[in-house]
Amino acid sequence: MQVQVKLFAFFREGRFIKEDRELPEGCTVGEVVDTLNINREEIGVLMLNSRHCQFDTVLHEGDICAIFPVIGGG
Amino acid sequence: MVDETPAILSLLKKQAEDRYITLAAAQKIALQNSTTLASVESLALQHSILPLRYKRNGLNSAEQLTLFKSTVAIIGCGGLGGRNAEILSRIGVGHLILTDPDIFSESNLNRQMFCTADNLGQEKVTVLERELQKINPALDTSLHCNHFDRSSILRADTVIDALDSAEARKELATLCQKEDIPLVHGAVNGWYGQLGVDNRTNSIINTLYQRTDGKTTAPRVVPMTVALIATMQATEACKLLLGKGTTIDKGWLQCDLYNGDFEVIEA
């Protein structure tokens, strides 16, 4: 299945801003995060089709998954 | 006590040119009448006489008076906080409550506008008060050289979140929601930043920091990101003070200066 993955802020560095990815059926948001070598502890917000989701949320064909890091500096 | 107001007002009217009063004239009137510059300018604004330094703001005297009567609490006086303080002083906010327990250190020089090579080691809030007085001599400041508490935000019309830890931000959001004061959030990392206005309805800070356990290392930050996010925070704060509300009350704004990409995320 095809899922669009959108990355934000420094997660884009060495990766991409937006990419259509071919993923196996039943793949979870957490697995996408792991595949991208993103440390789960660095995640601030996860969204699926503009709604909040969790690491164990299962993806479906045509979904848009957005991954935001914690931005904490002042 | 004799009410000096009519005498001061008559002096103001006499000295004002085209309804603007210069700083020197207002200071002289204050001195002659044993009162403060702030009270002279307050009286001027109430009678549609604008301090000349606000001329180019382009705000009318009612708006300028609203800002003058406003209190903004700035929590954290580093990169974001310092620049917020500078902008809010220049536009004419009357009272700033500044809270920060830290002193300036060398690694602050790249992005904290009031940090200079000759004030390293000095308390941030004390330096800010001194420098802000040079920008706006009518500004009233209250200093808290410690971790924030309820007294840091009490009586504030708007609060600026210029902190640097997730835990502290969540604590501040809880405090502001309890007092029902809008909290203008800003945060930076590298070339990236985010902006939002936390309130009881959206709890945006809890959304953004829900997963963090507070363990954060000092991030790298370029000065442009700090300047941009602080400028946008000060903008939202002024719009809130002027009763225009905020345009980002549902979600947050994600800013990527490196790729020139700005997106409002509806939460």
Mean pLDDT of A11-25: 97
Count of CB contacts below 8 A, A vs B? 81
B103 strand-pairing partners:
B123
- Check A72 against B76: CB less than 8 A apart: no
Q: Mind telling me how many Å the CA of A44 is from chain B's nearest CA?
A: 6
d(CA A29, CA B138): 54
- Check A72 against B162: CB less than 8 A apart: no
Q: In this predicted model, what pLDDT tens digit does every residue of B96-110 receive, in sequence order? A: 999 999 999 999 999
Question: What is the domain partition of chain B in residue ranges?
Answer: 5-64, 70-265
Across chain B, what does the average pLDDT equal?
96
Q: In this predicted model, what pLDDT tens digit does every residue of B115-159 receive, in sequence order? A: 999 999 999 999 999 999 999 999 999 999 999 999 999 999 999
Q: Mind telling me how many Å the CA of B70 is from chain A's nearest CA?
A: 24
Q: Mind telling me how many Å the CA of A4 is from chain B's nearest CA?
A: 16
B250/B71: higher pLDDT: B71
Q: Which residues of B touch A72 (CB under 8 A)?
A: 164-166, 169, 187, 189, 209, 212, 216, 219
- Using an 8 Å Cβ cutoff, are B172 and B159 in contact? yes
Residue of chain A nearest B192, judged by CA positions:
A9
d(CA A20, CA B242): 44
Q: In this predicted model, what pLDDT tens digit does every residue of B4-54 receive, in sequence order? A: 799 999 999 999 999 999 999 999 999 999 999 999 999 999 999 999 999
Residue of chain A nearest B220, judged by CA positions:
A73
Cα-based distances in Å from A50 to A17, A46, A63, A65, B267 = 16, 9, 10, 8, 7
Cα-based distances in Å from B17 to A50, A53, B7, B52, B206 = 56, 61, 18, 9, 51
CATH, domain A2-69, list 2.60.40.10, 2.160.10.10, 3.65.10.10, 3.10.20.30? 3.10.20.30
d(CA B168, CA B148): 9
Cα-based distances in Å from B71 to B46, B88, B226, B251 = 18, 10, 23, 25
- Using an 8 Å Cβ cutoff, are B29 and B15 in contact? yes
Q: Mind telling me how many Å the CA of A45 is from chain B's nearest CA?
A: 6
Question: Which among A9, A45, A74 is the nearest to B192, CB-wise?
Answer: A9
- Check B266 against A50: CB less than 8 A apart: yes
Q: What is the largest CA-CA distance in chain B?
A: 63
Percent of chain A with pLDDT over 90: 100
* CATH class for the region spanning B70-265: alpha beta
Report the pLDDT value the prediction gives residue B211, as an integer from 0 to 100.
86
**Best mutation site among B254, B255, B263, B264 for testing chain A: the one with the most A CBs within 10 Å?**
B254
Mean pLDDT of A62-72: 97
Q: How many CB atoms lie within 10 A of CB B216?
A: 16
- Check B219 against A73: CB less than 8 A apart: yes
- Using an 8 Å Cβ cutoff, are B164 and B78 in contact? yes
Mean pLDDT of B200-207: 96
Rounded to the nearest 5°, which phi and psi values hold at B25?
Answer: -65, -45
| DSSP helix, strand, coil percent of chain B (3-state; round to 5) | 45, 20, 35
Cβ-Cβ contacts under 8 Å for A51 (sequence gap 6 or more): none
Cα-based distances in Å from B188 to A39, B8, B87, B96, B145 = 19, 47, 18, 22, 23
